[in-house]
Amino acid sequence: MKRIGILGGTFDPPHIGHLIIAEEVRLALDLAEVWFIPSYTPPHKDNAKTGPEQRLKMVRLATKSNPYFKVDTIEIERSGKSYTIDTIEELKRRHPDNEFYFIIGADMVEYLPRWYRIEELTELVTFVGVKRSNYQLESRYSILIVDIPLIEVSSTLLRERCMNGVSVHYWLPAPVYQYMKEHRLYEH
């Protein structure tokens, strides 16, 4: 039985917050790997600003220096709305011996009651919640809390900075920063 962490996200763009929570949860729960799963269409928010292929490319760049991090393209290949239940059901079919830990920030913990088929999903994965400013970690569902420092960064903040011509240097891994600059992402 392998214990696998999953970090699903829009990753528009991926930033140090994603990497730190993945690594801290991996260490705290002694996970064999953490799989990053970029969504095709996020289920609950407006379409991403950047297409799935470019977000996937950035996630690959962000994670490549960590041998414990893997990228799974299951949602991008499936296309359509990326409901987590569909992803987990398929992952359990493909990897029946794995135990999955789905990592979410407190914003998603608060949103959990509105996830598609959430009651079934809680039977299939263990949710792992981490802090995020302005959100609570309490939930009616049973969630494992991993206590990590608050990391005050979001993709929204970084997109806004780019749009306003403010540097985002050091808020994302260097290869992602380079890629964004080359492709002039989020600049207008």
Ligand X SMILES: O=C(O)c1ccc[n+]([C@@H]2O[C@H](COP(=O)([O-])O)[C@@H](O)[C@H]2O)c1
Binding region for ligand X (CB under 6 A): 8-10, 39, 42-45, 82-85, 108, 111, 115-116
Minimal distance, residue 59 CB to ligand ATP, in Å: 9
Residues 155-174, interacting with ligand ATP (CB under 6 A): 155-156
Cβ(31)–Cβ(101) below 8 Å: yes
Q: What contacts 119, CB < 8 A, 6 or more positions away?
A: none
Minimal distance, residue 139 CB to ligand X, in Å: 14
Sheet containing 98-105: give its strands across: 69-71, 33-38, 2-9, 98-105, 126-130, 143-145
11 near ligand ATP (CB under 6 A): yes
**Residue 54 binding: pick among ligand X, ligand ATP, none (C-beta 5-8 Å cut-off by kind):** none
- Rounded to 10 degrees, the C-alpha dihedral 114/53/152/31 comes to 80
Contacts to ligand ATP by CB under 6 A: 9-12, 17-18, 21, 104-105, 107-108, 130, 132, 151, 153-156
